[in-house]
Amino acid sequence: IEVNDTTLKFKKAVIATGARAVRPRVEGMQEAGYLTNETVFSLTERPNRLAVIGGGPIGCELAQSFRRLGCEVVLFHRGSHILNKEDADAADIVQKVFLKEGIRLVLGAQLNRVEKTEAGKTLHFNSCTGLEESVTVDEILIGAGRAPNVEGLNLELVGVEYDQRKGVKVNDYLETTNPKIYAAGDICMDWKFTHAADSAARIVIKNTLFSPFGFGKYKLSNLVMPWATYTDPEIAHVGMYEHEAQAKGFNVNTIKIPFSTVDRAIADGEEEGFVKIHHKKGSDQILGATIVATHAGEMISEVTTAIVHKIGLSKLSSVIHPYPTQAEGIKKAADAYRRTLLTPRTKTFLEFLTKLS
């Protein structure tokens, strides 16, 4: 490696250059100027009118934040629903909250061009109606994904394959196509989270320093990765979605506990969310879970622990949760599974035992 005219030699190396906000290819956008999730925090004044491009996690988190700071916010999204990669029921709750809070949603949006005028920055677009419309704002914030930082590394010279969109190509051990070079984090992973990068870095350290002759290597695919979208309410998820589990051949049962049945949520006035747990049909094996709550990100770790350590819903049902807490929603889901075990035959047998006692 050449660094400041100095040559550094290595036995093993790791590429961890991360990713950056995707730059939009819209006519006039560069000239008009825009903010990203990295540059937005350099603002010294609140814009009165803000356009947010992208209805994924980054766009939604920032759109709601600026709306609550008093900005007029219009959110553009290509899809027919914001947060369209999340559980549909969860995304629907957040979308309704956005509309209630006064965020204007332009769904099925196609941005045509941007022009800078004395009145501000004008975006010309087609919405799902097909008609061209326009809106003028003070600032434009891009929240439409991340692009890997692969430029300027001369990866071709060392035989490391990469893609401009997906990043560096790695195997399950995070090895690149050059066996002496590894990669970790946003540069090579679909999970673009800080905690995911931390977990990947741990795998690289173990595989490069503590796996002599290749024995005992750790795999990326063995990770159980939770994540959260920090809107209000938050959406937290771990494991497989129902459609993913079905695609892998599982017969899936889903248990959904609305927070309108959880006393703490009722007391807090936070009844809109839910706990949803997918389990293997005929088994208490947890396949995945989604939680929608004010602090869903704090709650999902209990389910993550259960999946990692193969703790089923039956054992989770026996865990005592303090009353009243919103985490009781998880116990209620586990209890709901236990009730499914009470078949008519089992019920008859229990009634017989009761009569004998």
Q: Does residue 211 surpass a pLDDT of 90?
A: no
Cα 158–161–162 angle (5° rounding)? 125
Distance CA 229, CA 296 (A): 9
Q: Does residue 356 surpass a pLDDT of 80?
A: no
Q: Is the pTM of this model over 0.85?
A: yes
**CATH 3.50.50.60 domain position(s) in the chain:** 21-146, 150-222
Tell which residue, 284, 265, 272, has the closest CA to residue 334. Answer: 284
- In the prediction, which pLDDT does 128 show? 85
Q: Does residue 186 surpass a pLDDT of 90?
A: yes
Proportion of the chain above pLDDT 70, given as a percent: 99
CATH class for domain 150-222? alpha beta
Q: Does residue 350 surpass a pLDDT of 80?
A: no
Proportion of the chain above pLDDT 90, given as a percent: 85
Contact criterion met (CB below 8 Å) for 220 and 200: yes
Contact criterion met (CB below 8 Å) for 252 and 239: no
- In the prediction, which pLDDT does 308 show? 97
pLDDT in tens, 148-158: 999 999 999 99
- In the prediction, which pLDDT does 131 show? 87
pLDDT in tens, 111-122: 999 999 999 999
Q: How confident is the model at residue 262 (pLDDT cuts 50, 70, 90)?
A: very high
Q: Does residue 141 surpass a pLDDT of 80?
A: yes
Torsion of CA 41, 42, 47, 53, to 10 degrees: -60
Q: Which residues pair with 125 in a beta bridge?
A: 111, 133
SS3 state at 347: helix
Distance CA 76, CA 128 (A): 11
Tokens 């369209």 appear where?
Answer: 84
Q: Does residue 266 surpass a pLDDT of 90?
A: yes
- In the prediction, which pLDDT does 333 show? 98
Torsion of CA 192, 193, 198, 201, to 10 degrees: 0
- In the prediction, which pLDDT does 259 show? 98
Distance CA 243, CA 168 (A): 28
Report which DSSP code applies to 24. Answer: P
Contact criterion met (CB below 8 Å) for 105 and 77: yes
Query: In sequence order, what are the residues at sequence separation of 6 or more whose Cβ sits closer than 8 angstroms to the Cβ of residue 196?
Result: 185, 189, 223, 225, 227
Q: Residue 86 corresponds to which tokens in the numbers above? A: 């999340």
Report which DSSP code applies to 175. Answer: B
The CATH superfamily of 21-146 is FAD/NAD(P)-binding domain (3.50.50.60)
Distance CA 168, CA 174 (A): 10
Q: Residue 335 corresponds to which tokens in the numbers above? A: 């209890």
For the chain, what is the mean pLDDT? 94
In the predicted model, what is the mean pLDDT of residues 10-29?
92
In the predicted model, what is the mean pLDDT of residues 90-108?
97
pLDDT in tens, 303-322: 999 999 999 999 999 999 99
Q: Residue 353 corresponds to which tokens in the numbers above? A: 């035992």
Torsion of CA 217, 219, 220, 221, to 10 degrees: 180
**CATH 3.30.390.30 domain position(s) in the chain:** 231-340
Architecture of the CATH domain 231-340: 2-Layer Sandwich (3.30)
How far, in Å, are 63, 106, 126, 335 from residue 77 at the CA level?
12, 6, 11, 39
Give the length of the chain: 357
Q: How far apart are the first and last CA of the chain?
A: 79
In the predicted model, what is the mean pLDDT of residues 228-253?
97
Integer-rounded Cα radius of gyration of the chain: 25
Distance CA 8, CA 114 (A): 46
SS3 state at 95: helix
Q: Does residue 214 surpass a pLDDT of 80?
A: no
- In the prediction, which pLDDT does 8 show? 87
